Amino acid sequence: MSSEPAKLTPMMQQYFEVRRGLPKDTFLLFRLGDFFEMFFDDAIAGSRLLGLTLTKRQDFPMCGIPAHAADTYVTKLLAAGKKVALCDQAEPAKAGKLVRRQLTRILSPGTTLAANQLDAARNHYLCALAYDKLGLHAAWLDLSTGEFKVATDPSIANLLPVLTALDPAELLVIEGELARWQATPHDQTAVHALHAFCSGRLCSELAGYHFDTATGGKTVMDTLGVLNLQGFGLAHTHPALGPAGAVVYYATENLCAKPENLRTLQEYRSARTLLLDPATLRNLEIFASARGGREGSLFGAINRTVTPAGARLLERWLAAPTLELPEIIRRQTLVAELLAQPMRLLALRESLTNVRDIPRILGRLQNRLRNPRELGGVRDTLAQLPSLRAELTAFGSSQLSALSSQLQEFAHLRELLPRALADELPADLADGNYIRSGYDAELDRLRSLTSDNKTWLSDLERTEQERTGIRSLKVRFTNNFGYYIEVTKANLHLVPSDYIRRQTTVGGERYVTEALRQKEKEIFHAEENALAREFELFNALVAAVLDESIALTHTAEALAELDVLCGWALLAREWDYCQPVLDDSDVLEISEGRHPVVEQMLRSPDVTLPRGASAGFVPNDTALGCSEAQIALITGPNMAGKSTYIRQVALIALLAQIGCWVPAKSCRIGLVDRIFSRVGASDDLARGNSTFMVEMNETANILNNTTDRSLIILDEIGRGTSTYDGLSIAWAVVEHLHRDPAKGPRTLFATHYQELTQLEKHLTRLRNLSVAVKEWNDDIVFVRRVIPGAADRSYGIQVARLAGLPLSVIDRAKTILGKLESDDTTVSLPAAAPQARPKKKITVQPADDAQLKLL
- Give 398's contacts (C-beta < 8 A, 6+ positions apart): none
**Residue 40 φ/ψ region, left for φ over 0, alpha for ψ in the -120 to 50 degree band, beta for the rest:** left
Asked whether the beta carbons of 146 and 363 are under 8 A apart, the reply is yes
Per DSSP, 54 falls in state P
Residue 46, number of CB atoms within 10 A of its CB = 28
Q: Three-state SS across 577-613? A: CECCEEECCCEEEEEEECCHHHHHHHHCCCCCCCCCC
601 labelled as ligand-binding? no
741 labelled as ligand-binding? no
Q: How do beta strands 631-635 and 170-174 pair?
A: unpaired
Tabulate helix, strand, coil % of the chain (nearest 5).
45, 20, 35
Q: Three-state SS across 111-156? A: CCCCHHHCCCCCCCCEEEEEEECCEEEEEEEECCCCEEEEEEECCH
Return the H-helix or E-strand segment holding 10: helix 10-20
- Provide the residue type at 202 as one letter: L
Return the H-helix or E-strand segment holding 106: strand 101-107
Q: At what angle do helices 398-405 and 325-340 cross, to 10 degrees?
A: 100
Q: How do beta strands 779-788 and 766-776 pair?
A: antiparallel
- Give 371's contacts (C-beta < 8 A, 6+ positions apart): 426, 427, 428, 429
Q: What is the largest CA-CA distance in the chain?
A: 118
The three-class DSSP label of residue 560 is helix
Chain Cα centroid distance, residue 765: 41
Q: Where are the alpha helices (DSSP H) in 397-484?
A: 398-405, 411-420, 441-468
> 751-763 as b/e, with b when 16 or more CB fall inside 10 Å?
bbbebbbbbbeeb
**283 closest CA partner among 750, 632, 626, 609:** 750
640 labelled as ligand-binding? yes
Q: Where are the alpha helices (DSSP H) in 619-717?
A: 642-657, 691-705
The three-class DSSP label of residue 540 is helix
- Provide the residue type at 499 as one letter: Y
CA dihedral of residues 792, 794, 797, 803 (deg, nearest 10): 130
- Give 791's contacts (C-beta < 8 A, 6+ positions apart): 635, 636, 637, 754, 770, 771
The three-class DSSP label of residue 349 is helix
**112 closest CA partner among 88, 83, 89:** 83
The three-class DSSP label of residue 296 is coil
Report DSSP letters for 426-447, one per residue. -SSGGG---BPTTS-HHHHHHH
d(CA 689, CA 108): 32
1 labelled as ligand-binding? no
Residue 543, number of CB atoms within 10 A of its CB = 10
Gyration radius (Cα) of the chain, Å: 34
639 labelled as ligand-binding? yes
Residue 848 sits at the vertex; the CA angle it makes with 845 and 852, to the nearest 5 degrees, is 115
**801 closest CA partner among 770, 833, 777, 829:** 777
**Binding-site residues, please?**
636-643
**Binding-site residues for ATP, please?**
636-643
